[in-house]
Amino acid sequence: ELKVEQNPLFLSMQEGKNYTIYCNYSTTSDRLYWYRQDPGKSLESLFVLLSNGAVKQEGRLMASLDTKARLSTLHITAAVHDLSATYFCAVDLFQGAQKLVFGQGTRLTINP
Partner 1 sequence: NAGVTQTPKFQVLKTGQSMTLQCAQDMNHNSMYWYRQDPGMGLRLIYYSASEGTTDKGEVPNGYNVSRLNKREFSLRLESAAPSQTSVYFCASRMDYTYGYTFGSGTRLTVV
The residue ranges that bind partner 1 (CB under 8 A) are: 4, 9, 31, 33, 41-43, 45, 48, 88, 90, 92, 94, 97-105
| Shortest CB 15 distance to partner 1, Å | 26
Degrees to nearest 5, angle at CA 55 with 52 and 61: 140
- CB nearer partner 1, residue 19 or residue 102: 102
| Shortest CB 41 distance to partner 1, Å | 8
Written as one letter, the residue type at 97 is A
| Shortest CB 112 distance to partner 1, Å | 26
Q: How far is CA 76 from the centre of its chain?
A: 11
- CB nearer partner 1, residue 4 or residue 76: 4
C-alpha to C-alpha distance for 19 and 17, rounded to whole angstroms: 7
